[in-house]
Structure 1
Amino acid sequence: MEPDLEVVQIRRGESFKAWSHGYPFHTVRWHFHPEYELHQVVATSGRYFVGDFIGEFEPGNLVLTGPNLPHNWVSDLPAECTIPLRGRILQFSEEFIGDLMKVMPELSGLAALLEFSRRGALFTRSTSDALAPLMEEIVTANGVRRIELFMMILGVLGRARKARPLSSPNYLPDPSGYMSAGMNKALAFIRKNLTQPFGETELAAIAGQSQSAFSRSFRRHTGMSLVQYVKRLRINLACQILMSDEQASITDICFEVGFNNLSNFNRQFLAEKGMPPSRFRRLLAHNIDAARAA
C-alpha cells in the first residue's frame, strides 16, 4: 500500500511546527512528508511502522524520521477509547535545517544524525527523558523561546548515544513514486497553498482528472470532501495559532488561515471543535495557568 502525503503546514512567520495530538487522530495512518519529524510518545503502547521496520512502542518512544520516510504509530486501545494526549511532534523542513547549518557551522555535527534519520533513528529512553520537558514546552512556546528550545533539542539529539536505525539499509523511500499519483500532487498543492483561495476545478487539473472523477477519488483517498478536508486543515492551523500566539486577534487568525468571513470562521470552528475560538483560547489559558500553579 502506498503511503499518503501528510500536509505539514508550518505557519507563516515560524521556522518549524511543534504540536501534540491525542488518539485516534486523523494523521494516524501510513503516511509520509518531506519534513524531518521528531516523534515522542507520551501515552499508550502499540505497534509502529517506519519504512520496512515493524516494532512495539510504549511511552517514551522517541524516533526521528527523515524526509519522505513513511511511518505510522498505532495504539493498542479498546474500541471507542480515546486519549487526549498521545504524543508530541516537532517537524522542520530539509531546507530550513540546511540553511541553519550553513549560517551556524557549529551545527555541522548534526549532518550525520540527519542522514542517519533517513532510515528512522530510535533513541534511548534516557535521551527521551531528557527531551520530554523541552518537547512539552516547545508546543506552546512563543518568539525567541521557541528557537531556544529548538536549539536545546538539537543539542540533546546531537549528543545522544546508542541511537539505532529502524528501516533496513536497502529500504529507499521513493517520493517520486508516491507523488506520481495525481491525488498526492493535488494534496501537495493544498499543502503549499492552504491559506490561499483555490477550487476543485484547479485541483482536478493538477491531478489530471475530470472534476467529477477527482471529487470521487478525493473522498476515497481522504474519507471526506475537499471542502471538509480544507476546512479541517484551516481550523487545525487556527488552533496552532491560538495556542502559540496570545496576541493574535481571532479576526486576524480567521483571515490568516484562509477564511474570508469571521462569522463563517466562528461557525466552522464550533462545528469542528465543539466550541467557538474565544472559548478555546480561554480554556487553553486556564490550562496553562493551572499547570504553572501546580
Structure 2
Amino acid sequence: MSRQIIPFPEKSFPLVVREVSGEFSEFAAIATHFHPEIELQYIFAGGGKYYIKNTIYPLKKGTLLIIKSNEIHRYVPNLKSPWIRKISIIFSPRLFKHFSSYLRNNIPISKFRHSFLFSQEEITVIEIILKNILRESTERNRNYRAIILFQLSHLLLTCQRNELPFRSKIVLSEKQDKVIKTIFSYLDSHFNSKITVNYLSNVVNLSPNYLSYLFKKITGIRLKEYLLQKRIAEAKIILEKEPQKKIIEISGDVGFDDLSSFNRAFKRINGFSPSQYRSFCILNRRKIRDF
C-alpha cells in the first residue's frame, strides 16, 4: 500500500484529466494506493470491480466513482471482460472550495456516496459534461479553468440529484477488509516469490479453502488467477523498459519456475508471445525516436 504522487500540469490549477483504456494487464501493476486529492472515475465501457476503503463496488457503463482524500483504493478486473475504458478527474480539495457553494446545502465532498448509477438519459448528460472537461483541459483556451469548474459543479449537482441506492455493493466487515488489504499488499510486494494459497492462508490466519472462497466472493476472481495476471503485468513492464533483457530472465524475475509456463501464460492472457510483445515495444520506440 503506497501513497501515489499526482503530477499536475499546472501547480496553480491542481487538476488533471485522463482518459484511459486497455485490458486488465495495463492496470494490474498499480498497487493498492491512496492520495490526498479527490478523484472521480467514470466508466464509458467495460467492467470489473473497485475497492474503496472497506467496500467493493461493481463497475459497468454509466458508473461514476467518487474517491475522497486519502481513501485506499484499487481496481479489480473482470477476467471474462477484461477491457475497460474510463475517464479520471483528479483535483486538490482546495479546488473543490471554488465550486462547492453551487451544490445543494453546500454539501462537503466527504458526504457524497462513493458510487452512482445513472439512467440512460442521465448518462447522455454526464458523458457530454465529461467530454467537455476533457476537451477544455486539453486545449486550454481562454477561460478554460472557469469552464472546467462550472462543468464539475454540473457533474456533482447531477450526482446529488441521483438518489438511487447502490444496492449491489459489498460492504466488508472489519476482519474481511483487513484480510483483503493484507493479501493485496503481500501480492504487490512478493508476486515474484513462491506463493501458494496455503502460505497466504497462514499470513492471514485463515484456512486455505475459506481464503480462496472469500477472495473470489469479494473480488470476483480466483486468487491464483489474480497472482498470474499480476506477474504477467509486471513482465510486460520489464519488456517495455528493458527490451534487451532475455525472456528467460524476465520469467524468473516475475516468479515463474520455467520459461514454457511463462510463455503459455503470457500468450493466453495477451494473445501474443513475450517475444512478439518485445518486438512491438522496440518498433514503437523507433517510431517515437524517428518522429
TM-score by length of 1: 0.49
Task: Give the structure with higher Rg (CA).
Answer: 2
TM-score by length of 2: 0.50
